[in-house]
Structure 1
């Protein structure tokens, strides 16, 4: 009996040792997650102007970025952390997470002299920015200074957060409020997801685009609420393979493609999907705009707009190839855009328009739109001065199903 007990003890000890060795080998292979709390570097979340916070955040990022033992996390706890303009650069050794639990507070006055964004992530792969916290740009102090719509020599203001040359990354569960200009700026990113994000600024705040995207590809924007004084999503040149779904947009200017065609080095835009979304109280709904006086021959192609509700939207469907703001084209109507728009589908778009011009497709005489498809459109105007109207100029394609307003001939 004693010998059996001894054998069992030896076997148990051997099993425990084997599991311990296996566990150690697993941890050594996968690495351990290490947290870098900004408070340990001297950051204080008391809401007061504190120049040490920027240094503390920078040092925490540097240590997390060079951590080679596994995944790393820069951790910002509850509290209000005043933060000056800052850049978090890679490349980093492994997957890195930037977790914001509290509120980040921008300086009241911040021009984009050094960089376009207040908080910038650059040259980082496998980055996650999350935590449920708030990014407060304190834009109300700067909006009265924003006269860029009429002053070509204006000083541009910094956007809340930017990602440049970032791949295989995501932003989720954060709030961006009161940006001085745009909220989230994406440039040259690849395989990037934005989910569960809320973006807000007053409807009369100037140039406060929600999400701006340029020269980027393979992106998903899902389950996002955007209420600003400009475009909910602005899609600029060089953007491809972008999927937008379950977005609540309004107030604001809608989801805009362009403007495009103004500069010689612009790239084409292709592969854009907007679906299962709601526009409420916006100036425009689905808008594509190209410069009338264009200097580049680019294209906008392979778009799908599907299953979208409009509630009191100024112009629900717009293609404008005579875009020329603030009289910058010498004389309106004297130019024809050189941007080719083709293969754009509008399917199941319904709701109410606050103007009679519910559907306006005005394409270029030189490069008429090709392959535009309208199917199951029902846009109603409830004003006293008549019914909703549709305008289709220089456009080729097809019409299927019920179309209201129905006076558009393609």
Structure 2
């Protein structure tokens, strides 16, 4: 009987070894922006390197990760568009810097994600809108020809996704805009700008559903969270606001034909 037990245990161990050794690698394929020529020196524009890394990651037939390592990476206005072939991660451990001159962005949104499913943005890094030089231009209450300042990061038609851990600093206009997204989680994010910075809304949500915002600190010069038209199932919990205007239902009653949340 002892020899049978020993043989059975040996067989089990052999089968376990075969199972483990033959199991597919679950780690995502890494696309480091530095491999595409990005320089974290705080001066070079890395838009081409970032977009090329994204294109390859998005086209990868498996889980993929765009990685921004430690360093200061300047980045002009970019759009990261899908659809992608599989679950995609965008990990920021460095600092991503917007142009100080708003005109150099040439887009309404500095960093935009569009038409993507199963996207995760995470990391210990910061996206810095460098808004200080642009805030004095925000005089739309007096000037009908005031410039339209760029939002730091936008999500359009992005579903089953999440953003966690990163910091958004000193946006020129709003920090995060979400439009036509479904099943999106914002967790553990830090959003900050001075209390006197104009129109630096923390999170703005419109025409979206199943949005969860939690464990997040938002301190800006405008709305902490602005809830616009067409939203359903919006959950907000364990969020601290201040400075700023708190959580608001934007434009409520402004237009009688507008459907409010």
Alpha-carbon offset, residue 85 of structure 1? 0.5
1:60 match: 53
Aligned partner of 1:81 in structure 2 is: 73
Do structure 1's residue 34 and structure 2's residue 29 form an aligned pair?
A: yes
After the TM superposition, which residues 155-170 of structure 1 pair with which residues of structure 2 at under 5 Å, given as runs? Answer: 155-170=147-162
1:209-220 equivalences in 2 (<5 Å): 209-220=201-212
Consecutive aligned runs of 4 or more in structure 1 exceeding 6 Å deviation: none
- Give the TM-score taking structure 2 as reference length: 0.91
Unaligned 5+ runs, structure 2: none
Q: Are the equivalent residues in 1 in contact too, given 2:163–2:186 (CA < 8 A)?
A: yes
Asked if 1:22 corresponds to 2:19, the answer is yes
Query: Conserved in 1, the CA contact under 8 Å of 2:124 and 2:166?
Result: yes
Q: Which runs of 5+ in 1 are unaligned?
A: 270-410
> What is residue 110 of structure 2 aligned with on the other side?
118
Q: How far apart are 1:23 and its partner, in Å?
A: 3.9
Aligned ranges 1:195-274 → 2 under 5 Å: 195-263=187-255, 266-269=258-261
Who is 1:376 aligned against? none
CA distance in 2, matches of 1:15, 1:179: 56
CA deviation after TM superposition for structure 1 residue 116, in Å: 2.2
Match of 1:47 among 22, 33, 42: 42
Distance 2:105 2:90 in 1: 25
Q: Which residue is 1:94 aligned to?
A: 86
Q: Deviations over 1:36-86 (max 9, x none)?
A: 1111111011111x13x1111111111111111x31110000111000101
User: What residue is the counterpart of 1:395 in the other structure?
Assistant: none
* Change in CA separation of 1:180 and 1:266 when aligned onto 2, cut-off 3 Å: same
Asked if the contact 1:218–1:240 (Cα under 8 Å) also holds between the matched residues in 2, the reply is yes
Q: Separation in 1 of the partners of 2:137 and 2:116? A: 33
The structure with the larger Rg is 1
Give the alignment of 1:397-408 within 5 angstroms.
Answer: none
Question: Which residues of 2 match residues 349-364 of structure 1 at below 5 A?
Answer: none
SS at match of 2:110: strand
C-alpha separation between the residues in 2 aligned to 1:113 and 1:125? 26
Q: In structure 2, the residue corresponding to 1:260 is in which secondary structure?
A: coil
Root-mean-square deviation over aligned CA pairs: 2.3
1:378-397 alignment, distance < 5 Å: none
SS of equivalent residue, structure 1 residue 141: coil
Whether contact under 8 Å (1:112, 1:157) holds in the other structure is no
Higher relative contact order (CA 8 A, sep 6+): 2
Q: Which is richer in strand?
A: 1
